[in-house]
Structure 1
Amino acid sequence: MRIPDYSGGSIVNLVSSIRQGCGGESTLYPELRKFPSGRIAAAQNVVLLVLDGLGYDYLTTQGAGSRLQQQLHCGLDSVAPPTTAASITTFLTGVAPQQHGLTGWFTWLREVGAVVTVLPFAMRGNRSELNSHGITPQQLFNHTPLFDQLNVAGYSLMPDQLGESVFSQAMLGKGELVLYRGMDDYFAKITEVVQRGNHAKYLYAYWPQFDSLAHQYGLQSKQLARQFSQLDKGFTRLQQQLAGSNTLLLVTADHGFIDTTAESRLLINDYPDILECLQIPLCGEPRLPYCYVRSTQRERFVELVTQQLGHALVIHQGETVIAEGLFGLGEAHPELNSRVGEFVLEMKANYVLTQRLLGEAEYYMIGQHGGLSETELRVPLVVAHC
């Protein structure tokens, strides 16, 4: 099992460098070995562009020769699982899933007795929003936003359809929310914020569309290549517009991608003997499912999974992967064990395993992430000083 390098080579360590470079205190997670805080402290403005889904492998292959690739500083590990819910929360809090406790798109929250899609902050199935029941992110997660840990002005640049969500608001703290609409406006708003006054600033700038296109069309698609080309051109223009402003541009991502095929997309509904061992639906990610198994069926579950799905996955005990440090360093979130389950299925090659509940439409995505392959775990760090 591939465990991210939380001791100095992960996105959580990049955030530690940013925190300390922007006047915050050191924490459990050391600075990034290849980009210490001193380089950040020297800049008047620090901009972190998170291009959702832009993996290291894509940048160095399909993106070879681009401006972004030419200014590649190094590769980083994401967190486990390498997926938006876990990784973006790390960018916004400065801690790994070990502490923030968000372990995937579908998370079993024992406190509310439901499987929840954390970023939409809604229950799976009926999609009922938790806040409509008086439940807040602060009650469930107790996060300290990164913006509250810095000694400079903080700004969060988000697409207008996401920026005012319950989850985004909970991660804002004392930061100022800036909304944009479309790619041109994304880069224009970065320039606008940087040029506001002469005070020191940190700007977190999130772009989700690369991820959406990779899911829908795959890594080899013309749609994704066009998107990357547009991002590269926008980044080039941004550098020109910010020239002489003492601005440090950092570009990274939350995860990489793999492409799946019809043959590699497995549905647990097609394995009824395995399905009847479960006490709640599969959680986590299609590339790293968490299994909550009835206590009387655990030996049978392991035997059935090994026999019927051994070609597609490796089965691990949940307590073991936590103890081995899959989710981070140090003391764990008090609910981490309950949010992982008795068994973790590490998918091989490009296999995915999903579950369809009654009332859910049939769907599939070509591009997938959340597994522990190098392609999914490795993300780039592009550095440019303007």
Structure 2
Amino acid sequence: MEVKPDWKISILNVSATLADYIGVKSNIAKIDILKNELNKNYKNVIYICMDGLGMFPLEQNLPKSSILRENVKKTITSVFPSTTTNATSSLYSATYPSHHGLFGWSLYFEKLNSCVDIYIGQNSYTREPIDMSKIDDYLTFETYFSKSKIPAYTVFPDFMKYLQTSTKNYNFASLEEAFDVLKEIVKINEKKFVYCYLPEPDATMHNYGTTSKEAKDIIKTINKLTEELANQSTDTLIIVTPDHGQTDITSYIPLYEDKELMSTLKTPMFLEPRATGMFVKKECE
């Protein structure tokens, strides 16, 4: 099934609506149902991005009575490429991919003559750590929550290397720790906005598949932790979206085995398998 971004009801429009709520102007269309809820003046507004938890894995792994399925308000689209780095960068910045330019997990930097996994700060091929300060000039987009007119907090995995933010930031090493942090932030006596990114269930689904026991277990855990957070929080709006969805692949084309194709490329292929980037040698254009 072909799905294209709908720029009136996408993850980008979610961020634009949240940006508007915390006093950051955006000319991108807002989502009325979310805007109306935000106008109820909650003490705590928590946005949680659950990586990869689109409608397919949600419906495959949770009953209709679960808190995450029972509270679905809208089906939205992602951006293109619908990859974690590209989609979350649009979520962080409330800008189109063509603006922030971080299209995939692995990006080529001519200055290094190499591809870098920017989320985790390593060489895409050798897995060696990269000095991210060498490419800071290329990663300059601002997060919208850094410009918040109300107190803003961020909760990110401890492996994330590139995201710079002026918010009060907390890092976590497990899902349980992430939700423990959220519970503590809620207790702070002030009106606030919280942005949280969870790398699951995407990581588990990539390894085992969207309908595997491992995926079902991690999604059930996320649902349970979300329910506990909701039950223990007062005067709090919790907003949940994925950055993109995920389905199991039915076919795979090993392009890197095509020696004729590879001989025309200046660098190995990069970005992501779902939307591969290629630099063609000048003489082969």
Q: Provide the rounded CA distance (Å) in 2 between the counterparts of 1:111 and 1:251.
A: 38
How many angstroms does 1:147 deviate by?
A: 2.2
Instruction: Tell me the equivalent position of 2:238.
Output: 249
Instruction: Tell me the equivalent position of 1:51.
Output: 50
SS at match of 1:31: coil
Q: Provide the rounded CA distance (Å) in 1 between the counterparts of 2:222 and 2:27.
A: 34
Q: Provide the rounded CA distance (Å) in 1 between the counterparts of 2:143 and 2:129.
A: 22
Q: Provide the rounded CA distance (Å) in 2 between the counterparts of 1:246 and 1:78.
A: 29
How many angstroms does 1:127 deviate by?
A: 3.9
- 1:161-180 equivalence runs, <5 A: 161-162=158-159, 165-168=160-163, 170=164, 172=165, 174-180=166-172
Q: Provide the rounded CA distance (Å) in 1 between the counterparts of 2:130 and 2:47.
A: 30
SS at match of 2:61: coil
Structure 1 gap segments, 5+ residues each: 299-386
Q: Provide the rounded CA distance (Å) in 1 between the counterparts of 2:27 and 2:216.
A: 39
SS at match of 2:102: coil
| Percent of paired sites with the same residue | 22
Q: Does 1:258 align with 2:247?
A: yes
Give yes or no for contact 2:22–2:145 (8 Å, CA) kept in 1. no
Give yes or no for contact 2:61–2:220 (8 Å, CA) kept in 1. no
SS at match of 1:205: strand
How many angstroms does 1:112 deviate by?
A: 4.0
Give yes or no for contact 1:130–1:136 (8 Å, CA) kept in 2. no
Q: Provide the rounded CA distance (Å) in 1 between the counterparts of 2:81 and 2:236.
A: 31
Q: Name which one, 1 or 2, has greater alpha-carbon Rg.
A: 1
Amino acid of the structure 1 residue aligned with 2:162: F
Deviations 1:161-199 (A, max 9, x none): 32xx4313x2x2x211113343333222211101111x2
Instruction: Tell me the equivalent position of 2:78.
Output: 78
Q: Does 1:3 align with 2:1?
A: no
- 1:185-264 equivalence runs, <5 A: 185-197=177-189, 199-242=190-233, 245-260=234-249, 264=251
Q: Provide the rounded CA distance (Å) in 1 between the counterparts of 2:130 and 2:144.
A: 24
TM-score using structure 1 length: 0.68
- CA-based RMSD of the aligned residues comes to 2.0
Amino acid of the structure 1 residue aligned with 2:147: Q
Instruction: Tell me the equivalent position of 2:150.
Output: 152
Distance 1:272 1:222, change over 3 A: same
How many angstroms does 1:99 deviate by?
A: 0.7
Going by fraction, where is strand more abundant, 1 or 2? 1
Q: Say which is worse superposed, 188-197 or 122-131, in terms of deviation.
A: 122-131
SS at match of 1:239: helix
- 1:305-324 equivalence runs, <5 A: none
Deviations 1:90-134 (A, max 9, x none): 2222212111110111222335433222212333334454426x4
Give yes or no for contact 1:213–1:223 (8 Å, CA) kept in 2. yes
- 1:284-295 equivalence runs, <5 A: 284-295=271-282
How many angstroms does 1:266 deviate by?
A: 2.6
Deviations 1:23-74 (A, max 9, x none): 222x2322124422x4224222110111111012222343241221010011
Instruction: Tell me the equivalent position of 1:329.
Output: none
How many angstroms does 1:280 deviate by?
A: 1.5
Q: Provide the rounded CA distance (Å) in 2 between the counterparts of 1:295 and 1:3.
A: 32
**Matched residues, number:** 282
Q: Provide the rounded CA distance (Å) in 2 between the counterparts of 1:185 and 1:2.
A: 35
Q: Provide the rounded CA distance (Å) in 1 between the counterparts of 2:173 and 2:283.
A: 52
Distance 1:209 1:153, change over 3 A: same
Instruction: Tell me the equivalent position of 2:37.
Output: 39
